């Protein structure tokens, strides 16, 4: 990591105003830390709001004291508590002029929910904090945490229709060719896959369908359901149209789609 950019050499009242964020950030890890005083948390939030484009806050203790009606010595103690907790890092250099002598950086610690896994937690003074942006710091991006996010449904357009079912597509093709109604094929494909019929059931279904095709009503085109309705409703089991048993299969030659 290279040397940080040099900060401003002078800090006027206008500089302080321009580098104050409208909102102060107080991460949960700091907010619920019972080892530091409440006023320390308030100071932390103000440091976050005052972080400049270089990633640090340069306010004096007297500035915090004036804003929050605290004694400068109390502010100094609170900042020390924050630094010992690892939430901030200070860099003091008397060679810098005016308020820029002390720079307060935010560290990655408040966002390190996994004990350091996947975070860059270098908090050495002189480097821009991971937690600071131009005005208010944003959450640190952890690229090592994998979160399972369900894929979004395709937006716009219609889903491509299935050309054939997943279960025994060739047998469905023969069934579809034999069935007297050709509407709602997609629904029939879905019903076929849902039914997941084995060889025995397919044979019983075929025998029943053959008898239904020979019935007077179906011959006249009356009462023939959609293929999907026939499959979902198990219409081969309709009263009065029960399929023949396998043992009697020789009586009715089954050649429809088995």
Which of 122-136, 153-167, 188-202 shows the lowest per-residue confidence on average (mean pLDDT)? Answer: 122-136
The domain total for the chain is 2
CA–CA dist 236, 242 (Å, integer):
6
CATH number, domain at 62?
1.10.10.10
Please report the pLDDT score of residue 13 as a whole number.
Answer: 45
Q: Read off the tokens for 200.
A: 């025995």
- Final residue of a structural domain among 142, 158, 183: 142
Mean pLDDT of 47-65: 86
- Final residue of a structural domain among 107, 142, 177: 142
If we measure between CA atoms, which residue out of 212, 237, 239 comes closest to residue 223?
212
Residue 154 or residue 26, greater confidence: 26
Contact 62, 72 (CB under 8 A): yes
Please report the pLDDT score of residue 137 as a whole number.
Answer: 44
Whether 126 and 41 share a structural domain: yes
Does residue 82 fall inside a structural domain?
yes
Does residue 151 fall inside a structural domain?
no
Please report the pLDDT score of residue 125 as a whole number.
Answer: 40
Phi-psi region of 118 (alpha: psi -120 to 50; beta: other; left: phi over 0): left
Q: What phi and psi, each to the nearest 5 degrees, are found at residue 56? A: -140, 160
Whether 15 and 116 share a structural domain: yes
Please report the pLDDT score of residue 160 as a whole number.
Answer: 83
Does residue 153 fall inside a structural domain?
no
Does residue 255 fall inside a structural domain?
no
User: What is the chain's Cα-based Rg?
Assistant: 38
Whether 60 and 135 share a structural domain: yes
Please report the pLDDT score of residue 100 as a whole number.
Answer: 72
Does residue 193 fall inside a structural domain?
yes
If we measure between CA atoms, which residue out of 84, 140, 79, 81 comes closest to residue 104?
79
Question: Angle, nearest 10°, between helix axes 72-84 and 61-68?
Answer: 110
Does residue 4 fall inside a structural domain?
yes
Q: Read off the tokens for 142.
A: 């952890």
Q: Could you read off the pLDDT of 58-85 as tens digits, one per residue?
A: 888 998 999 999 999 999 999 999 999 9
Whether 36 and 137 share a structural domain: yes
The predicted model scores a pTM of 0.41
Mean pLDDT computed over every residue of the chain: 76
Whether 15 and 93 share a structural domain: yes
Whether 226 and 131 share a structural domain: no
Residue 32 has pLDDT above 60, yes or no: yes
Domain that residue 180 falls in: 169-248
Please report the pLDDT score of residue 71 as a whole number.
Answer: 94
Does residue 57 fall inside a structural domain?
yes
Please report the pLDDT score of residue 164 as a whole number.
Answer: 94
For residue 197, name the pLDDT band (cuts at 50, 70, 90).
very high
CA–CA dist 220, 213 (Å, integer):
10
Mean pLDDT of 232-248: 68
Mean pLDDT of 245-250: 44
If we measure between CA atoms, which residue out of 45, 51, 116 comes closest to residue 79?
45
Distances (CA, A) of 21 to 14, 17, 58, 162, 256: 13, 9, 14, 55, 77
- Final residue of a structural domain among 142, 159, 180: 142
Does residue 119 fall inside a structural domain?
yes
């Amino acid at each position: 990591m290279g040397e940080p950019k040099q900060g401003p050499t002078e800090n006027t009242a206008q500089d302080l105003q321009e580098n104050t964020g409208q909102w102060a950030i107080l991460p949960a890890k700091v907010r619920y830390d019972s080892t530091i005083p409440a006023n320390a948390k308030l100071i932390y939030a103000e440091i976050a709001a005052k972080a400049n484009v270089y990633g640090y806050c340069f306010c004096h203790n007297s500035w915090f004291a004036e804003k929050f009606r605290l004694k400068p010595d109390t502010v100094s103690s609170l900042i020390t508590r924050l630094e010992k907790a690892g939430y901030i890092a200070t860099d003091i250099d008397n060679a810098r002029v005016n308020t820029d002598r002390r720079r307060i950086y935010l560290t990655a610690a408040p966002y390190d929910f996994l004990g350091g896994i996947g975070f860059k937690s270098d908090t050495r003074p002189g480097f821009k904090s991971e937690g600071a942006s131009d005005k208010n710091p944003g959450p640190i991006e952890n690229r090592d945490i994998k979160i399972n996010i369900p894929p979004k449904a395709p937006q716009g357009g219609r889903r491509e229709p299935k050309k054939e079912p997943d279960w025994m597509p060739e047998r469905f093709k023969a069934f579809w060719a034999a069935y007297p109604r050709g509407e709602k094929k997609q629904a029939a494909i879905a019903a076929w896959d849902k039914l997941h019929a084995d060889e025995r059931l397919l044979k019983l279904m075929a025998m029943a369908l053959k008898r239904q095709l020979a019935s007077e009503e179906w011959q006249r085109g009356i009462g023939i359901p959609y293929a999907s309705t026939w499959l979902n409703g198990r219409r081969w089991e309709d009263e009065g149209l029960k399929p023949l048993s396998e043992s009697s299969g020789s009586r009715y030659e089954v050649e429809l789609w088995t």
